[in-house]
Amino acid sequence: MTESSHRVSETPTTTPEVAAFFDVATSTLTYVVTSPETKRCAIIDPVLDYDESSAAVSTESADTVARYVLENDLRVDYILETHVHADHLSAAHYLRQHLGGLIGIGAETVGVQSAVAAIYSDATPLARDGSHFDVLLEDERSLAFGSLHIRTLHVPGHTPACVAYLIGDALFAGDTLFMPDSGTARCDFPGGDARSLYRSIQRLFRLPDATRVFVCHDYQPNGRSLQYVAPIKTHRDRNIHVNRTVSEVSFVAMRSQRDAGLGTPKLMLPSLQVNVRGGTLPRHPTTGEPFLYLPLNKLGAAGTRNIEDIFPRQNENVDFID
């Protein structure tokens, strides 16, 4: 559920206007970025609501974003994902149906699709060519956006396909950076790599000091109020995980030790199968209804046994539900 939305303080017309929407359930920030002279906008990292206990999908968060777009007479050019999220379902497809726009994601997502298909044993066939998305964005790809441009920066580390979007003076960093008092995201997902994340962040640190960094999540450490934007200079000076004084070796050691103690995100299995499809849901192979799969013992948690060792096939009477 979206807690609030508001416009960041007015900016000159050479920079975008940014409205932020915070989903309390997943601590996720969705942004509507507007080219003020043209009223064209891009939506970044939209959330589809999902109740884990009832497996119920709803659209309150996405509808709040849609109302903002319509009430401000904006035209959606793009719906952009910074990566294949493992902690919330994407509302990209839903919003495209209602508002238009092209769904874009990093080009390396094609490789992530193959990794995700293996987790689900390809229970419903998944195209592994990026065709669920309208635009696959290579590093340094530029998109025309009203009086501005959207510059794509490939920033692997959290996942191998992460991208950040630079629009005027605003950088939408995805999970590459959290707020300075929260540090950085984990690197232990398939294809994640702490060295790559460190080097990606060093690339971002070369941006101008005043570049505004908008983060994808804020977990509000120590009970502080919501924060989601800080200058890149503040990260360079004071980010608790990676600042100008932190070496690559020490960052990798810190990140590796920290990641070893983290549990699996609670919405990882529901979200991956949706998000590699650009926000569309898998379909049941028999009924054709929207359907989520729950593969067992596939994520490699410590101490997890092979499911076939627990339930060997030769000892089962298999009943098929149709």
303 compared with 284, residue with greater pLDDT: 284
Alpha-carbon separation of residue 115 from 164, 166, 191, 298 (angstroms) = 22, 28, 9, 12
Longest Cα–Cα distance of the chain, Å, equals 69
Does residue 236 lie within any of the structural domains?
A: yes
Does residue 310 lie within any of the structural domains?
A: no
Pick from 141, 112, 151: nearest CA to 129: 112
- Read off the pLDDT of residues 104-123 as tens digits, 9 standing for 90 and up: 999 999 999 998 988 887 76
- 204, 175 Cβ separation under 8 angstroms: no
Does residue 305 lie within any of the structural domains?
A: no
Does residue 315 lie within any of the structural domains?
A: no
- Read off the pLDDT of residues 42-84 as tens digits, 9 standing for 90 and up: 999 999 999 999 999 999 999 999 999 999 999 999 999 999 9
Instruction: Please tell me the total count of domains within the chain.
Output: 1
Average pLDDT value for residue range 90-117: 96
Does residue 322 lie within any of the structural domains?
A: no
240 lies in which domain range?
2-300
Does residue 24 lie within any of the structural domains?
A: yes
DSSP tag of 43: E
Does residue 105 lie within any of the structural domains?
A: yes
CA dist., res. 95 & res. 92, Å (int): 5
Check which CATH number belongs to the domain holding 282 and give it.
3.60.15.10
% of the chain surpassing 70 pLDDT: 90
The helix or strand, by DSSP H or E, that contains position 114, with its residue range, turns out to be helix 109-119
Rounded to the nearest integer, the mean pLDDT of the chain is 91
Does residue 306 lie within any of the structural domains?
A: no
CA dist., res. 161 & res. 106, Å (int): 6
* Signed CA dihedral, 210, 211, 212, 218: sign only: negative
CA dist., res. 233 & res. 229, Å (int): 12
- 265, 301 Cβ separation under 8 angstroms: no
- Read off the pLDDT of residues 162-201 as tens digits, 9 standing for 90 and up: 999 999 999 999 999 999 999 999 999 989 999 999 999 9
Per-residue pLDDT, 302: 55
